[in-house]
Amino acid sequence: MSAQSEGNYAEALQNYYEAMRLEIDSYDRSYILYNIGLIHTSNGEHTKALEYYFRAVERNPFLPQAFNNMAVICHYAIRQGDSEIAEAWFDQAAEYWK
């Protein structure tokens, strides 16, 4: 977590990937995935971020911060004129909740 808070995202990602390899508890893994999503969001890698947020809520459907961040990314895409991308992300979310 220290590397992430210091802005050293490459190191933080490596730490989280290692944590994913070692952690077996699904609930704890959801927070690791969420944090990986945060880093990708910070790096402007929104598609990757959404992938990790989706994986996080698959393991822990009571993770409101992940849902909030997914909505913010979609809202941002719409404001940037990428409504097609936002619509695809919304469709992906709808598929998840079927």
Q: CATH number of the domain at 12, please.
A: 1.25.40.10
Predicted model pTM? 0.84
**The pLDDT of residue 35:** 97
Number of domains into which the chain is organized: 1
Instruction: Give, as one character, the DSSP assignment of residue 24.
Output: -
Q: Which residue range forms the structural domain that includes residue 74?
A: 2-96
Q: How far apart are CA 65 and CA 71, in angstroms?
A: 10
**Cβ neighbours of 76 (radius 10 Å):** 14
Q: How far apart are CA 3 and CA 90, in angstroms?
A: 32
pLDDT in tens, 19-72: 999 999 999 999 999 999 999 999 999 989 999 999 999 999 899 899 889 988
CB 16 within 8 A of CB 38: no
CB 89 within 8 A of CB 74: yes
Comparison of pLDDT for 74 and 38, the residue scoring more: 38
Q: How far apart are CA 33 and CA 38, in angstroms?
A: 9
pLDDT in tens, 47-60: 899 999 999 999 99
